[in-house]
Structure 1
Amino acid sequence: MNAPDHPGILNVEAEPQACGVAAPHEAAHLHVSGRALYVDDVPEPRGTLFVAPVLSRVAHGRLKSVDASAALAMPGVRRVVTAADLPAANVVGAGHDEPILPAELIEYLGQPVALVVATGAKAARVAARAVRMEVEPLPAILTIAQALEAESWVLAPVHLVQGDVEAAMAAAPHRLQGEFAMGGQEQFYLEGQVALAMPGEDGTMKVLSSTQHPGEVQHWVADALGVPAHSVQVECRRMGGGFGGKETQAGHIAVWAAVAARLAGAPCKLRLDRDDDFLITGKRHPFLGRWTVGFDGQGRILAIDLVQAAACGFSADLSGPIADRAIFHADNAYYLPAAAIHSYRCKTHTQSHTAFRGFGGPQGVGMIEAALDDIARHLGLDPLAVRRLNLYGDAPRDRTPYGMQVADNILPALIERLEADCGYAGRREAIARWNAASPVIKRGLALTPVKFGISFTATMFNQAGALVNVYTDGSVTVNHGGTEMGQGLHTKVCQVVADTLGVPLAWVRITATDTGRVPNASATAASSGTDLNGRAAEFAAREVRDRLRAYVAASRGLDVAQVSIRGGKVLVPGAELDFVAVAKAAYAARVSLWSDGYYATPKIHYDHKTMRGRPFYYFAYGAAATEVAVDTLTGETRVLRVDILHDVGRSINPAIDLGQIEGGFVQGVGWLTSEELVWKPDGSLATHAPSTYKIPTSGDVPADFRVALWPEPNREDNVYGSKAVGEPPFMLGFAAFFAIRDAVAAARREQGRAPLVPLSAPATPEAVLRAVAQ
Structure 2
Amino acid sequence: MNIRHEFDDTGPDAEPLRHVRKPLPHDSARRHVMGAADYIDDVREPAGTLHVAIGMAPKARGAIRSIDLTAVRAHPGVVRVLTAADVPGKNDVSPAAGDDPMFADTRIGFHGQALFAVLAETRDAARRAAKTAIVEIEEEAPSVSVEDALERAETVLPDYGFGRGEVAPALDGAPHRLQGSLRIGGQEHFYLEGQAALATPGEEGDIHVLSSTQHPTEVQHVIARVLGIPDAYVTCEVRRMGGGFGGKESQATQWAAIAALGAHLTKRPCKVRLDRDDDFVLTGKRHDFRSDWRVGFDDEGVIAGFAVTHNARCGYSADLSQGVVDRTMFHSDNSYFFPAVRIDTRRLLTNTVSNTAFRGFGGPQGMLMIEHVMDRIAWATGRDPLDVRYANLYRPGADVTPYGQTVEETDTLRAVVETLERTSEYRTRRAAIAAFNDRSKILKKGIALTPVKFGISFTLMHLNQAGALVHVYQDGSVHLNHGGTEMGQGLYQKIAQVVAEEFGIAIERVRITATSTGKVPNTAPTAASSGTDLNGMAAKIAAGAIKARMAARAAERFGIPQEEVTFRDDRVFAGNESLTFAELARDCVMHRVHLSEAGFYRTPTISWDRANAKGRPFLYFAYGAACSEVIVDTLTGEYKVTRVDILHDVGRSINPAIDIGQIEGGFVQGMGWLTTEELVYDETSGRLRTHAPSTYKIPVASDVPEDLRVALFPNTNRMETIYRSKAVGEPPVMLANSVFCALADAVHALDPARPVPLDAPATPEAVLRACEALRGNPLPGSAPGGGGRVA
Common fold, TM-score beyond 0.5?
yes
List aligned pairs for 1:613-632, cutoff 5 A: 613-632=615-634
List aligned pairs for 1:18-417, cutoff 5 A: 18-94=19-95, 95-395=97-397, 397-409=398-410, 410-417=412-419
Per-residue displacement from partner, 1:188-238 (whole Å, max 9, x unpaired)?
000000000111100110000000000000000001011000000000000
Match for residue 525 of structure 1 among 506, 527, 530? 527
> Structure 2 CA distance, aligned partners of 1:161 and 1:653?
38
Residues 503-512 or 212-221, more deviating:
503-512
Contact 2:558 2:574 in 1 (8 A): no
Report the CA distance between 1:2 and its aligned residue. Answer: 13
Amino acid at match of 1:724: A
Match for residue 729 of structure 1 among 710, 732, 742? 732
> Structure 1 CA distance, aligned partners of 2:361 and 2:676?
20
Instruction: Check if 1:444 corresponds to 2:470.
Output: no
The structure-2 alpha-carbon separation of the partners of 1:559 and 1:28, relative to structure 1 and needing over 3 Å to count, comes to: same
> Structure 1 CA distance, aligned partners of 2:73 and 2:591?
64
Per-residue displacement from partner, 1:717-767 (whole Å, max 9, x unpaired)?
000110000000000000011000000000234xxxx42111010001111
Per-residue displacement from partner, 1:124-151 (whole Å, max 9, x unpaired)?
0011111111111022111111111221
Aligned to 2:508: 506
Per-residue displacement from partner, 1:682-704 (whole Å, max 9, x unpaired)?
10000000000000000001110
Aligned to 1:589: 591
Report the CA distance between 1:3 and its aligned residue. Answer: 9.6
> Structure 1 CA distance, aligned partners of 2:447 and 2:578?
59
What SS does the corresponding residue of 1:464 show, helix, strand or coil?
Answer: strand
What SS does the corresponding residue of 2:406 show, helix, strand or coil?
Answer: coil
> Structure 2 CA distance, aligned partners of 1:586 and 1:356?
46
Contact 2:471 2:595 in 1 (8 A): yes
Instruction: Check if 1:720 corresponds to 2:720.
Output: no
What SS does the corresponding residue of 1:350 show, helix, strand or coil?
Answer: coil
TM-score by length of 2: 0.95
Per-residue displacement from partner, 1:165-196 (whole Å, max 9, x unpaired)?
11111211000011111100000000000000
Match for residue 748 of structure 1 among 742, 747, 751? 751
Report the CA distance between 1:161 and its aligned residue. Answer: 2.4
What SS does the corresponding residue of 1:586 show, helix, strand or coil?
Answer: helix
Report the CA distance between 1:29 and its aligned residue. Answer: 1.3
Per-residue displacement from partner, 1:265-324 (whole Å, max 9, x unpaired)?
211001000000000000000011111100011000100111111100000000001010
List aligned pairs for 1:647-726, cutoff 5 A: 647-681=649-683, 682-726=685-729
Per-residue displacement from partner, 1:310-357 (whole Å, max 9, x unpaired)?
100000000001010000001000001100111100000100000000
Unaligned runs of 5+ in 1: none
> Structure 2 CA distance, aligned partners of 1:474 and 1:240?
32
Amino acid at match of 2:227: L
> Structure 2 CA distance, aligned partners of 1:734 and 1:689?
26
Amino acid at match of 2:530: S
> Structure 2 CA distance, aligned partners of 1:96 and 1:510?
36
Contact 2:31 2:37 in 1 (8 A): yes
> Structure 2 CA distance, aligned partners of 1:417 and 1:114?
57
What SS does the corresponding residue of 2:374 show, helix, strand or coil?
Answer: helix
Contact 1:748 1:773 in 2 (8 A): no
Contact 2:558 2:577 in 1 (8 A): no
Amino acid at match of 1:19: V
Contact 2:9 2:21 in 1 (8 A): no
Contact 2:645 2:710 in 1 (8 A): yes
Contact 1:205 1:233 in 2 (8 A): yes
Contact 2:57 2:111 in 1 (8 A): yes
> Structure 1 CA distance, aligned partners of 2:343 and 2:365?
13
> Structure 2 CA distance, aligned partners of 1:515 and 1:614?
30
Aligned to 2:777: none
Contact 2:445 2:631 in 1 (8 A): yes
RMSD: 1.3
> Structure 2 CA distance, aligned partners of 1:583 and 1:370?
59
Report the CA distance between 1:4 and its aligned residue. Answer: 12
Residues 604-613 or 679-688, more deviating:
604-613
Instruction: Check if 1:773 corresponds to 2:772.
Output: yes
Amino acid at match of 1:74: H
Unaligned runs of 5+ in 2: 1-7, 774-791
Per-residue displacement from partner, 1:473-497 (whole Å, max 9, x unpaired)?
1111110000000000000000000
TM-score by length of 1: 0.97
The aligned length equals 763
Instruction: Check if 1:760 corresponds to 2:722.
Output: no
Hey, which bits of structure 1, 4+ residues long, moved more than 6 A?
1-6
Report the CA distance between 1:261 and its aligned residue. Answer: 1.5
Contact 1:748 1:772 in 2 (8 A): no
> Structure 2 CA distance, aligned partners of 1:509 and 1:620?
31
List aligned pairs for 1:413-424, cutoff 5 A: 413-424=415-426
> Structure 2 CA distance, aligned partners of 1:82 and 1:63?
13
